[in-house]
Amino acid sequence: MNPDLLIMIIIYFFNALYALIFIRIVLSWLRMRSDNPLSRYVIMLTEPLLAPARKLVRRSPLGGPGVPLDISPLIVFFVLSIISASIISVIEAVYYL
């Protein structure tokens, strides 16, 4: 497989994840009803990523009951960026060296 194509696919995949998380953030501001098909679909796709980060935040001094701001999307953005960059670096190291 062409390494440039593989890298492009990985970039598109992670950009789609970023977009879904961003849409989830916007939907949380809009307070859409939970029976809305768009809301359900976005929640279904993003919750497996956000739930572990939310658990970590609750256990930290930053989280807990009464904290109005959910920073779990920021944590997920950061972790996804690291994973994406690592995968691309490995692909480049294997194919271009």
Q: Which two tokens stand for residue 51?
A: 């739930």
Q: Which two tokens stand for residue 33?
A: 């009803």
What number of other Cβ atoms are within 10 A of residue 29's Cβ? 7
* pLDDT top residue among 56 and 21: 21
d(CA 62, CA 64): 7
Q: Please state the domain extents for the chain.
A: 3-96
Q: What pLDDT is stored for residue 91 in this prediction?
A: 94
Q: What pLDDT is stored for residue 64 in this prediction?
A: 63
Q: Which two tokens stand for residue 95?
A: 């194919």
Closest listed residue to residue 18, CA positions, set 40, 56, 49: 49
pLDDT digits (tens, 9 = 90+) for 43-66: 999 999 999 998 888 776 666 666
Q: Is the pTM of this model over 0.75?
A: yes
